[in-house]
Amino acid sequence: MTNRDLLLSEAGKLGLTFAKNAKTETIQKAVDKANIEATEEKAFIDAGGSVEPAEAVPTIEEITDQIEKKFAAKFEMEKAKMQANMEVNIATKDDKAGAQRATIGQAKLRARKEALKLIRVVITVKDPAKQSWEGEIISAGNDVIGEVKKFIPYMNAEEGYHIPQIILNVLKDKECTVFVNRKGADGKMLKKAKQIKAYAFEYLEPLTPDELTELGRSQTDRQALD
């Protein structure tokens, strides 16, 4: 066995490994250094000292596990944040929807109030076919307030009559046909059909509560006399 072989054998006992083409001088230096360190360590231990074990190097599996745990915690945090934002958005949408419903409800109330507002008028019937009528039932309505029906008297020249705005609008839109005399091309009088408004209106100030009470009393008295 050559000196190199003996040197490699000693190196192996010390836990040293070398490439096949390593120089003998390099191997010798490493073996000498290892022997010195081993001697110093033994002397230190013999003197009552202790050698701390080298810190263990984590394995690939341990490193992978740590990374997975780290990202799992971050994922759960982001998930919780996204869920919280989603709940806030849903609550905000619900609030907006509620506010919109409230706005629509308020608009309907205003429209109903406006449609049923009472207007005091004196009605003049211009429709020739209704000159002798005491009145008629007028109906009006829409999707907001539904249908409104009311008997509208035409014999109210003195004190007027309170009519809901929506029914007054219907009366204002009504037209009738009348015939008027006009000269023809030959100078003779001819009857021509003409469309006119069926009613004319005189608008009065609304009656006060006391005036309404007095009006009701007088109407009752007149009915008793009739």
Find the domain containing 30 and state its range: 3-46
Between CA 148 and CA 118 the distance in angstroms is 13
99 and 85 in a single domain? The answer is yes
Say if CB 51 and CB 40 are below 8 A apart.
Answer: no
The pTM (predicted TM-score) of the whole model is 0.49
Give the three-state DSSP class for 11.
helix
70 and 163 in a single domain? The answer is no
pLDDT digits (tens, 9 = 90+) for 150-204: 999 987 667 788 899 999 999 999 999 999 888 878 878 888 899 999 999 999 9
User: Which stretch of DSSP H or E encloses residue 12?
Assistant: helix 3-13
204 and 111 in a single domain? The answer is no
Residue 90 in any domain: the answer is: yes
21 and 67 in a single domain? The answer is no
∠ Cα 184 185 190 (to 5°) = 10
Residue 52 in any domain: the answer is: no
User: In the structure encoding, which two tokens stand for residue 155, read together?
Assistant: 């014999």
pLDDT digits (tens, 9 = 90+) for 1-54: 787 778 778 878 878 887 878 888 888 888 888 888 878 777 777 776 555 555
